[in-house]
Amino acid sequence: MGAFRQNIAVDIGSSNIRICVERKGIVVEEPSVVAVRKQTGEVVAIGRKAKNMEGKTDRDVTMVRPISRGAISEYTVTVNMVGYFLDEAVKNPIRRLIRPDIVTAVHCDITNVGRRATERALREAGAGRIFFVDAPLAAAVGANLDVSAPNGKMVVSIGAEITDIAVISYDGIVAAASVPVGGRSFDEAIKTYFKKEYKMIIGDQTAERIKNDYACVYRDVRVQPFDVSAFELSGRLPVDRPIRPDELIRTLSDVAMPVVEGISRVLEMTPPELVSDIYQRGITLTGGGARLAGLDVFISKGTGIDTITADNPHKCVVNGCMKILNSMSNERKNELMNN
Ligand SMILES: Nc1ncnc2c1ncn2[C@@H]1O[C@H](COP(=O)(O)OP(=O)(O)OP(=O)(O)O)[C@@H](O)[C@H]1O
Ligand SMILES: [Mg+2]
């Protein structure tokens, strides 16, 4: 029976959920948000539909982000969300009969309790056999790094709330650390900057748009001035304020600094031969947070090591998970299940 099961990769992040189906590619890429009615717990909308409702619904509807810092914080909502998107990904009702093999990635510092909760949630959402991969390993495979080669490679995977830093050699993680910084930390810093500097209140979505479309964390990477329209603390009407990208550099680099420090700590834990490989080969950035303009230059200057951002960095984890699962024989899967 196992040999007939479909292979599916699921990356359940604190900002986005992505599902990749064997031979089809990524079929789901949606915000990991669920709109829930407070009184009854009834699910009103899931994913993009829920995100679009944000700030526009009556007070009885609340937006739940069921994953935080890489772990499940709202169990039932997670099961609903994953089950809903698995149904979207595999329209065939046979999924309920022959449950798919599912691989998912977990952050370096996940606890046993966290891992068991993820396993149980996936099972309830319809998974058959479940396999875990360390997120940095999945990210490295998704970034097309040769993980099995006997040399050191460093992957820094920057999500919405967590950054995983890892050195990989011989298919395994040699040294790793997680830093509680991600794309959302930059959004928060931008909100604080506008409040302190201009007494302006901007929302989460505006902050994220400023970061994604106009800001940079290293000088001269982006130079085009832009306008931000928002309410002033004391005013009743929105005002337009012209902003230069370089004003935000100090704020954003303060947020990014712990990533550079984390990289140094991981290098200290790494055997010297592998460290010299990393100096030669450079650091690879993955994760949606790595798309912040100039972050590769910032990390390169901060560490003295060449740094490049992988193609489609936000898709590396799910693509890597899929490749890993597709490369496993049914015997290998059974072996892993029996361990
Ligand atoms: N063009 C961009 N520039 C800067 N940041 C971006 C860009 N596009 C996406 N991001 C940020 O990437 C983050 C989402 O990345 P990703 O989808 O990898 O996170 P996640 O896997 O859900 O989170 P985590 O792994 O921390 O649980 C968001 O904070 C988003 O704002
Ligand atoms: Mg992620």
pLDDT recorded at residue 237: 81
CATH number of 183-251: 3.90.640.10
For residue 246, report the phi and psi dihedrals to the nearest 5 degrees.
-70, -15
Give residue 240 CA to ligand 2 midpoint distance, Å. 34
pLDDT recorded at residue 95: 67
Q: Where are the domains of the chain?
A: 2-137+317-338, 146-181+258-314, 183-251
Q: Which of 11, 16, 68, 109 to mutate to test the pocket of ligand 1 (most atoms within 8 A of CB)?
A: 16
Q: Which of 12, 163, 314, 316 to mutate to test the pocket of ligand 1 (most atoms within 8 A of CB)?
A: 314
For residue 64, report the phi and psi dihedrals to the nearest 5 degrees.
-105, 130
CB atoms within 10 A of CB 262: 20
Does 291 contact ligand 1 (Cβ within 6 A)?
A: yes
Give residue 289 CA to ligand 1 midpoint distance, Å. 4
* Nearest bound ligand to the CA of residue 69: 1
- Class of 2-137+317-338 in CATH: alpha beta
Does 208 contact ligand 1 (Cβ within 6 A)?
A: yes
CATH 1.20.1290.10 fits 146-181+258-314, yes or no: no
Does 70 contact ligand 1 (Cβ within 6 A)?
A: yes
Nearest-atom index, ligand 1, CA of 208: 31
What's the whole-model pTM score? 0.95
Give residue 208 CA to ligand 1 midpoint distance, Å. 10
Give residue 182 CA to ligand 2 midpoint distance, Å. 9
User: How far apart, in whole angstroms, are the C-alpha atoms of residue 51 and residue 222?
Assistant: 28
Does 14 contact ligand 1 (Cβ within 6 A)?
A: yes
* Nearest bound ligand to the CA of residue 163: 1
Q: What is the pLDDT of residues 245-274, one digit of tens each?
A: 999 999 999 999 999 999 999 999 999 999
pLDDT recorded at residue 233: 84
Assess contact for 168 and 174: CB atoms under 8 A.
yes
Locate 192 and state its tokens: 């604080």
User: How far apart, in whole angstroms, are the C-alpha atoms of residue 132 and residue 335?
Assistant: 14
pLDDT recorded at residue 127: 94
Give residue 213 CA to ligand 1 midpoint distance, Å. 13
Give residue 160 CA to ligand 2 midpoint distance, Å. 7
* Nearest bound ligand to the CA of residue 294: 1
User: How far apart, in whole angstroms, are the C-alpha atoms of residue 321 and residue 138?
Assistant: 5
Tell me whether domains 2-137+317-338 and 183-251 share a fold.
no
Give residue 217 CA to ligand 1 midpoint distance, Å. 15
User: How far apart, in whole angstroms, are the C-alpha atoms of residue 182 and residue 163?
Assistant: 6
pLDDT recorded at residue 136: 96
All residue ranges of the chain with pLDDT < 70 are 1-3, 93-95
Does 161 contact ligand 1 (Cβ within 6 A)?
A: yes
Does 169 contact ligand 1 (Cβ within 6 A)?
A: no
Q: Which of 117, 105, 121 is nearest to 9 (CA)?
A: 105
On the 0-12 / 13-18 / 19+ scale of CB atoms within 10 A, 246 is middle
pLDDT recorded at residue 92: 74
